[in-house]
Structure 1
Amino acid sequence: MGKKGRVFVRGLTSETYGLGQFRQAQLAAERVRDDSVVVDDAKVGHSGDSEKSRTWWRIGPGDEDFLTQTLQVHFVELPPHSSNRGHGHQNEASFYILEGAGYEIHDDQRYDWKAGELVFVHTDSVHRHYNPYDEKAVALVMKAKCTWMFLGLLQQGRGGPIERPDEFGEREDWSRIWTDGVLERKKVVRQEDTVWETTPMGRVRVLNSPERTDLRQFSVDVFELDIPAGSHSGKHWKMADEVLYVLDGSGYSLHWEVQEEIAEKYYARVAKTPTRHEITKGDTLYVPQNTIAVHYAADGTPLRLLSAQNRMFKHLGYDKVHYFENAPEYTGELAEAASAV
């Protein structure tokens, strides 16, 4: 939250060509945040809150200390028999239902949801969240809003008449400039729409990715990672930064900084000593860009994580993950399959 209002996009200004000071400041910021961290209480510059609903931000571009504006994370709570305020924005949003059940109205169409499901607000959507039931509903919202802001896609606001109506003609269908076929794509990812797979990262359930061409969401990739007690994820290296929400359990994450060496070409130099970050249920863990990471479950406690990443990195040529070490479950499954042949 900025001193004079909400920060939508953060700038970079430097008197030198090298920008190492910005990366070092980012790497020095605390990467684990819990319920005590509210960087924005939605009282300024927000359109979605109503008298009953509540919105609060965990990660955003106005944060001090600054972490990222690749991803923004906030929570929405709907008490029983309530709704938030209808509004519209050009950016997409993904929200994972942590508690309860309810439904959406998007562009005058209804979409029901319940705990454990992922719901999409599509581009240029007029939307509103409803909870008609006796239990509260809570959603974790993940979005790449700043990407839209950088691209100048900032036409948003609450419903109402347009400004300067005398200067404009009759209504036209906005969807004429949408990608073909998006109206047929799914807006809610249900448990039965996904499968658990054992991968080099570990046991993973993909909720959204470029391969899910049946889903109407293009900016944030989401998966769940289930790490057995005393085990760990794959030790992996990728360029995209990431926010992980701890759905259940506890453990820690090791991060190795990767420094560029600019010689006849780019070389990667990996820090000899990692930083350690303790995590427990309800925390968000931030993994910076160009970082090597591995996540550990505590002894006796499985660890379940929800990962969100900005898909833009994949369009910029960084669509691979390199594994220095596979998750033990993946190695064990391969060995078992090989011995059965």
Structure 2
Amino acid sequence: MGKSGRVFVRGLTSQTYGLGEFRSRQLAVDRVRDDSVVVDDAKVGHSGDSEKSRTWWRIGPGDEEFLTQTIQVHFVELPPESSNHGHGHQNEAAFYILEGRGYEIHDDQRYDWAKDDLVYVHTDSVHRHFNPYPERAVALVVKAKCTWMFMGLIQQGRSGPIDRPEEFGPREDWSRIWTPGVLDRKKVISPADTVWEDTTLGRVRVMASPDRTDGRIFSTDAFELDIPAGGHSGKYWKMADEVYYVLDGSGYALQWEVEAEIAEKYYARIALEPKRYEITRGDTLYVPQNHVCQLFAADGTPLRLFNAQNRVFKHLGYDTVHYFEPASDRPGGTSA
């Protein structure tokens, strides 16, 4: 939360052309956050909560210790037999259901969800969350909201009349300017809609990606990663930053900073020594832009994680992940 209100987009200024000092400050921030970290309690500048529901942010552009604004992370809790307030915004959002079950009303249509589902709030959606059941429901929300804000797509609020109605004509169907075919795409991706695959990264269940054209989301990619006890993920390098949420188990991550050597062309220089981050259930782990990363299950049990990242990187020419080492259960991999 910013000192004068909610921060939707953070500025980037410098007295010099090089931005090394700015990047150094970002990389110095702690990358693991647990339930003790609440960067915004949704009491200012939010329209979603009812008297019963609760929303709190863990990663956002208004963080005093700034991490990122390419992917935001917050939580929504609905106690038994409750709902939040409906509202609308132009940006997409993805809800991973951590606990319970319930349903959404999106543009006057109902979509039911349960634990381990990924639920999409599509662009330009009026939406509201409901929990009519006797157990509480909790969702992890990831979104690339700042991408919309950077581009001036800032129309949002609760349902109600427009200002200056006398200056505008009758209602028109907003969907006329949406990508063709989106109305036929799924709004809820359940485990039954996915398969576990053995990949170089490890055992993965992809829920949102450019290759999955059945889901109605364009800005955020998401998958689950399951690392066996004593094992590790592939050691990979990519440009996009990302957030892991630990669903179960404990372990650690190694992250190697990558420096750009600007000579006759760009060269990547990878740090000789990684930084180590301990993680356990309920933690978020941030992986900055242009880093090498590898994850390890270290407490004798499997490590299960949810990953989210901003898809826009893939449209900027960074759609490849390079692997230095495969996962421990893949050919060429080694156990931890």
Q: Report the TM-score, using the length of structure 1 for normalisation.
A: 0.97
Provide, for residues 222-242 of structure 1, a one-character-per-residue CA deviation record: whole Å limited to 9, x for no partner: 000000111100000000000
How far does the alpha carbon of each residue in 1:58-87 deviate from its partner, in whole angstroms, 9 at most, with x for none?
000000110000000000000011000000
Aligned to 1:24: 24
What are the equivalent positions in structure 2 for 1:1-341 lying under 5 Å apart?
1-331=1-331
Per-residue deviation at 1:207?
Answer: 0.5
Q: Deviations over 1:217-271 (max 9, x none)?
A: 0000000000011110000000000000000000000000000000110000010
Q: Which amino acid aligns with 1:328?
A: S
Letter in 1 for 2:313: F
Q: Distance in 2 between matches of 1:217 and 1:6?
A: 25
Report the secondary structure of 2:15's partner residue. coil
Is the CA contact 2:252–2:297 (under 8 Å) kept in the aligned structure 1?
Answer: yes
Aligned equivalents of 2:307, 2:108: Cα separation in 1: 30
- Residue identity in the other structure for 1:108: D
* 2:89 alignment partner AA: H
Looking at structure 2, the residues matched to 329 and 283 of structure 1 have their Cα atoms a distance apart, in angstroms, of 25
Segments of structure 2 that go 5 or more residues without pairing to the other structure are none
Counting aligned pairs with the same residue, the percent is: 78
Shift of 1:22: 1.1
Quick one: distance in 2 between partners of 1:228 and 1:125? Answer: 39
Q: SS state of the match for residue 129, structure 1?
A: strand
Contact 2:249 2:299 in 1 (8 A): no
- In structure 1, give the amino acid aligned to 2:37: V
> Distance in 2 between the 1:299 and 1:52 partners?
37
Instruction: Indicate conservation of the 8 Å contact 2:325/2:332, yes or no.
Output: no
Amino acid at match of 1:238: K
Deviation at 1:299, TM superposition (A): 3.8
TM-superposition CA deviations, 1:8-54 (whole Å, max 9, x none): 00000111000011110111000000000000000000011111100
- Write the distance in 1 (CA, Å) between the matches of 2:184 and 2:299: 45
Amino acid at match of 1:162: I
Instruction: Give the SS at the match of 1:328.
Output: coil
In structure 2, give the amino acid aligned to 1:180.
P
Residue 17 of structure 1: SS of its match in structure 2? Answer: coil
Q: For 2:21 and 2:34, how far apart are their aligned partners in 1?
A: 27
Give me the whole-angstrom Cα distance separating, in 1, the residues matched to 2:258 and 2:31.
16
| C-alpha distance in 2 between matches for 1:299 and 1:187 | 36
Read off the aligned partner of 1:174 and give its amino acid letter.
W
Question: CA–CA distance in 1 between the matches of 2:159 and 2:331?
Answer: 53
Distance 1:292 1:327 in 2: 14
1:113-143 per-position Cα deviation (integer Å, ceiling 9, x unaligned): 0001000000000000000000000000000
| One-letter identity of the residue aligned with 2:229 | A
Q: Could you tell me which amino acid in structure 2 is paired with residue 122 of structure 1?
A: H
Q: Distance in 2 between matches of 1:140 and 1:307?
A: 11
TM superposition shift of 1:332: 6.6
Runs ≥4 residues deviating over 6 A:
none
SS of 1:147 mapped into structure 2: helix
How many residue pairs are counted as aligned between the two chains?
Answer: 333
| 8 Å contact kept, 2:252–2:278 | yes
Q: Which deviations, in whole Å up to 9, do the C-alpha atoms of 1:290-321 show, x marking residues without a partner? A: 00000000141210010001000000000000
How many angstroms apart in 2 are the aligned matches of 1:112 and 1:21? 47
1:91 aligned partner, one-letter code: N
CA distance in 1, matches of 2:121, 2:223: 18
Cα distance in structure 1, aligned partners of 2:330 and 2:89: 41
- Take 1:3 and 1:242, find their aligned partners in 2: how far apart are those partners? 26
Distance 1:153 1:276 in 2: 38
Q: Residue 326 of structure 2 contacts residue 332 of structure 2 at CA under 8 Å; is this kept in 1?
A: no
Return closer, same or farther for 1:332/1:274 CA change in 2, 3 Å cut-off: closer
CA distance in 1, matches of 2:287, 2:250: 17
Query: 1:213 and 1:192 mapped to 2: Cα distance?
Result: 16
Q: TM-score, normalised by structure 2?
A: 0.98
- Once the two structures are superposed, residues 78-115 of structure 1 have per-residue CA deviations (whole angstroms, 9 ceiling, x without a partner) of 00110000000000000100000000000000000000
Q: Deviations over 1:163-210 (max 9, x none)?
A: 011111110111100000000000000111000001000000001100
Aligned partners of 1:179, 1:80: CA distance in 2, in Å? 37
Q: Could you tell me which amino acid in structure 1 is paired with residue 146 of structure 2?
A: C
Give 1:331 shift. 1.4
SS in 1 for 2:170: coil
1:329 positional shift: 1.1
